[in-house]
Amino acid sequence: MAKVVLAYSGGLDTSIIIPWLKENYGYEVIAMTADLGQGEELAPLNEKAVKSGASKIYIEDARREFAEEYIFPTLKAGAIYEGKYLLGTSMARPLIAKKMVELARKEGAEAIAHGATGKGNDQVRFELAVKALAPDLKIVAPWREWDIRSREDAIDYAAARGIPVPVTKARPYSLDRNMWHLSHEGADLEDPWNEPLDDVLLLITPPGKAPDKPTYVEIGFEQGIPVKLDGAALDPVALIEKLNEIAGKNGVGIVDMVENRLVGMKSRGVYETPAGTVLFSAHREMELLTLDRVTLHFKEIVAARYAELVYDGVWFSPLREALDAFVDSTQKTVTGTVRMKLYKGNCTPAGAKSPYSLYDQELSTFGREEIYNQHDAEGFINLFGLPLKVRALMEKKSGLR
């Protein structure tokens, strides 16, 4: 019997995909879940997968790989999609696909399957990764094939086959969680005019209910990578998890946005990214202290393009690898400590220091002339403004002004 590896979350969709694949393709279904920091969500998956008809399930611990090889490169690049989204789901999908490909090779599977819908970005991210890593594998996307069109249809399909799918109306949102973020979509959030209710949030204390006194945290960087929290050296997973807890208690990391999906439509999502919000802000402060103006400004252009690549699912591409090489070269001096002030949803810098700081107090002061001679500025301005002066003279001579 031919085998297929299914990206399995244990939710309604992927639970019914298991019998659907067996009935429509005759496949032996092997479920695969990547542990990216979902926490308690993973505990019941072994039993649920088998009861739904899978022959076996693999739960792959990829937390450290996720932090070191996906989160930190994106952080170093300063990549934020459309100025707001910290790419928590976007970064995770290529890694999940990579693990699926590895498992398909191990099990001798001929195909992989996923539960992404035909309207979303995730179908692109999963499938581009598979095409880049294993172009010979077949890809099955049930949402583009079956006649199930609603949650009610899916529940009926599960009930008819005796598949245990706990359904609740208490939380009607579509969720995606890993150590970097938690996303919420659907229900009342589909109307951009609706303000998210406080009970939407699961990781972050609503800012109005956060402590009345600010919390200060210190982030230590080495070549653009966060390695210390409040002076203590921590492994990547522990650092992110601890900072999630601290920032979340202070209401930091809520992103509410209408974004442009790759497939052409706009969608509204609410994202909780407490640690990520602090780390991006702190990393930016360290770069402001240690990068020269021209490099910093060009890197901002690279950051926007990098964010699009990640969002679009083009992780395994020559361009992303080339941009990584550029980014890494800029990070050689991005080392030091940034102090951040967290207060009722706000995350603001409160100090930065680095052995590679380009800030020179003697140059900045107005009272010293030994290094910077203010008279030199006149010649600089004359030359810098020469094109403007020449154009103005032309316009005057030709009667344009």
Decide if 340 is inside a domain. yes
Which residue, 102, 131, 160, sits at the end of a domain? 160
On whether the CB atoms of residues 161 and 24 are closer than 8 A, the answer is: no
Q: What is the reported pTM?
A: 0.94
Decide if 95 is inside a domain. yes
Look at residue 186 and tell me whether its pLDDT is greater than 60.
yes
Same domain, 154 and 237: no
Residue type, 224: G
Q: Which two tokens stand for residue 153?
A: 């249809």
Task: Please provide the DSSP assignment of 227-296 as one string.
Answer: EEETTEE--HHHHHHHHHHHHHHTT--EEEEEEE-TTS-EEEEEEE-HHHHHHHHHHHHHHHHHS-HHHH
Q: Which two tokens stand for residue 242?
A: 């601890």
CA distances (Å), 237 to each of 93, 156, 226, in order?
Answer: 18, 40, 11
- At residue 173, the pLDDT reads 84
- Which of 35, 122, 176, 267 is the catalytic position? 122
Same domain, 152 and 206: no
Cα dihedral across residues 317, 318, 324, 327: positive or negative: negative
Domain CATH for 42? 3.40.50.620
- Which of 13, 35, 177, 268 is the catalytic position? 13
Decide if 302 is inside a domain. no
Decide if 92 is inside a domain. yes
Decide if 180 is inside a domain. yes
Mean per-residue pLDDT, 358-373 = 73
Decide if 315 is inside a domain. no
Decide if 296 is inside a domain. no
Query: How far apart, in whole angstroms, are the C-alpha atoms of residue 184 and residue 202?
Result: 10
User: Does the annotation list 235 as a binding residue?
Assistant: no
Mean per-residue pLDDT, 226-234 = 98
Same domain, 109 and 247: no
User: Does the annotation list 250 as a binding residue?
Assistant: no
Same domain, 55 and 182: no
Is 329 designated active site?
Answer: no
- At residue 86, the pLDDT reads 98
Residue 141: which domain range? 3-71+85-160
309-333 CB burial, b ≥16 within 10 A, e <16: bbbbbbbbeeebeebeeebeebbeb
Tell me which DSSP letter residue 84 carries.
Answer: T
Same domain, 156 and 178: no
Mean predicted lDDT score pLDDT of the chain: 94
Residue with tokens 């002076």: 231
Query: How far apart, in whole angstroms, are the C-alpha atoms of residue 164 and residue 274?
Result: 34
Share of the chain above pLDDT 90, in %: 85
Same domain, 155 and 178: no
Look at residue 88 and tell me whether its pLDDT is greater than 90.
yes
Share of the chain above pLDDT 70, in %: 96
Same domain, 129 and 47: yes
Cα dihedral across residues 198, 201, 203, 207: positive or negative: negative
Mean per-residue pLDDT, 163-177 = 73
On whether the CB atoms of residues 283 and 221 are closer than 8 A, the answer is: yes
- Which of 55, 161, 174, 317 is the catalytic position? 174
Which residue, 107, 130, 160, sits at the end of a domain? 160
- Which of 35, 52, 63, 93 is the catalytic position? 93
User: Does the annotation list 183 as a binding residue?
Assistant: yes
pLDDT level of residue 166 (50, 70, 90 thresholds): low
Same domain, 120 and 182: no
Decide if 322 is inside a domain. no
Same domain, 33 and 150: yes
Is 55 designated active site?
Answer: no
User: Does the annotation list 306 as a binding residue?
Assistant: no
User: Does the annotation list 229 as a binding residue?
Assistant: no
User: Does the annotation list 34 as a binding residue?
Assistant: yes
Same domain, 26 and 102: yes
Is 13 designated active site?
Answer: yes
- At residue 401, the pLDDT reads 77
User: Does the annotation list 90 as a binding residue?
Assistant: yes
Same domain, 26 and 112: yes
Same domain, 187 and 257: yes
CA atoms within 13 A on the CB side of 10: 20
User: Does the annotation list 271 as a binding residue?
Assistant: yes
- At residue 174, the pLDDT reads 84
Query: How far apart, in whole angstroms, are the C-alpha atoms of residue 251 and residue 208?
Result: 8
Domain CATH for 260? 3.90.1260.10
Which residue, 134, 160, 186, sits at the end of a domain? 160
Is 122 designated active site?
Answer: yes
- At residue 40, the pLDDT reads 86
The total number of structural domains that make up the chain: 3
